[in-house]
Amino acid sequence: MLRNKRIFLVDGLRTPFLKFSQYGPFSGGDLAVQAGKALLNRNYFLSDKIDEVIMGSVRPEVKENNIARAVALRLGLSNRLPAWTVQTNCATGILAVHAGARSLQDADIDVALVGGADATSRGNFTISGDYINWLIAFSKTHSWKDRFALLGKWRPSYLKVYSDLIEGSYDHHTNTGLFTLTEILLDEFSITRDDLDAIRLRSNQRAALAQDKGYFCEITPIFDNTGQIYDKDTAIDREVSLESLKKLHALDGPYAIATMGHMVNLVDGAAMVLLATEKAVEKYQLTPLCEIVDSTFAATHTTHLGQSLAYSTDKLLQRNNLQLSDIDFWEFYEASAAFPIVARKLLASDEKCQQYLGRKMAWGEIKEDQYNVDGGLQGLGHAFGGTGVRYVLHMAHILKRHQAQYGMVHATSIAAESGGILIRAC
């Protein structure tokens, strides 16, 4: 529970989340700067009041290694402003908001610019260690004779490259990836292929409906260096159907049920928000979107990745003396279509709550019209660092639209660290 100060989300904007088929036109920093510039332009009176910049990014480019500092300077903020970057794989955006709220709580500061950004279309690649050693040896060799000898030791296998996106999406501690982790859940939680197909369809249909109704009001248009405008999310599949999903072949796994149609699309995107203390809200006469009531992280065994969403739920509800029925809307992580199914079934089961959370009684049932109401990751795509910040920002708009009180958002990393944020409408 945030005890020392009340923390508010004052305003926020995000870029469209862009599906890619080639090297994208934007770096993560480019996306964050465009969203941040639009945000500061409409909150210009706060630009010189910002005390700290915090960004979440999983795969920043080399030239944006501390992407928070790069973004702060490109936005024209003071070069004396501290700026730092956080990372915990897919829950990175949640961690950024968590870190921002905690920093405002514990430090003598009142306004923070917080964001998350990743351009997954620009994934980094790593060469093999053998090739690196060969290059080092070659650079240290000065005679032509020795260089020719080293050339004879070169092997075609040295050309093998490793994708940071792929390697980083695999848990090397337990030698499991997303497909395997999904398959592990199917038997225990009685999940069928039809259940997984339904989540994929539901997510895309709800995202398309939200897009048509203008519910993604937090999007700001962005431009590439050719002048092309991007003003809407492009990963939403309006053609998806149960029939098309049934045609997909199952991937390897214990039950060979999960398909590529049940895994999330990666996208390029960024989201930026302004967080402020109650003191700043009153001093500058701000009208916040919502209050950040509490935030937390919880962890479990990696093979329980799907269950981990319930752990952060459990901590937040207990710590704030709330019942599950007090929460009006939820955002559950959909990197795999199985994850929201598992979270709901676990929280509604006495047996599973006892097994995983140590509770004698279930928390209760989350209804269909309460979670991922405007589509989840299966429809909008996953921008790593950008996702969690988008969750929080859009949940604030959901609460406002429905005149509701509490919302809870969650994301989890491949290592089964689950981040959760509890917000309350203002």
Q: What number is the average pLDDT over the span 53-65?
A: 91
**Eight-state DSSP code of residue 408:** E
Task: Give the per-residue pLDDT at 390.
Answer: 98
CA quadruple 310, 414, 32, 332: dihedral, nearest 10:
-30
How far is Cα 155 from Cα 73, in angstroms, rounded to an integer? 44
Q: Does 139 have pLDDT greater than 70?
A: yes
Q: Does 69 have pLDDT greater than 70?
A: yes
Nearest to 381 by CA among 151, 204, 214: 204
Tell me the pairing of strands 7-14 and 18-19: unpaired
**Mean of per-residue pLDDT scores for the chain:** 93
End-to-end CA distance of the chain: 18
Kindly list the domain boundaries of the chain, sorted by start residue: 131-161, 176-215+293-425
* Token representation of residue 223: 């431009």
Task: Give the per-residue pLDDT at 61.
Answer: 86
Q: What number is the average pLDDT over the span 346-375?
A: 97
Tell me the pairing of strands 83-86 and 222-223: unpaired
CA triplet 366, 415, 320: central angle to 5 degrees? 40
Task: Give the per-residue pLDDT at 277.
Answer: 97
Q: What number is the average pLDDT over the span 6-28?
A: 95
How far is Cα 45 from Cα 251, in angstroms, rounded to an integer? 53
Tell me the pairing of strands 83-86 and 18-19: unpaired
| Range of 148-152, 154-158, 386-390 with top mean pLDDT | 386-390
Residue pair 417/296 in contact by the 8 Å Cβ criterion: no
- pLDDT tens digit sequence for 88-103: 999 999 999 999 999 9
Task: Give the per-residue pLDDT at 127.
Answer: 85
Q: What number is the average pLDDT over the span 60-81?
A: 94
Q: Does 62 have pLDDT greater than 90?
A: no
Q: What number is the average pLDDT over the span 92-118?
A: 96
Q: Domain 176-215+293-425 carries which CATH code?
A: 3.40.47.10
How far is Cα 51 from Cα 110, in angstroms, rounded to an integer? 7
**Quick one: pLDDT band at residue 250, thresholds 50, 70, 90?**
confident
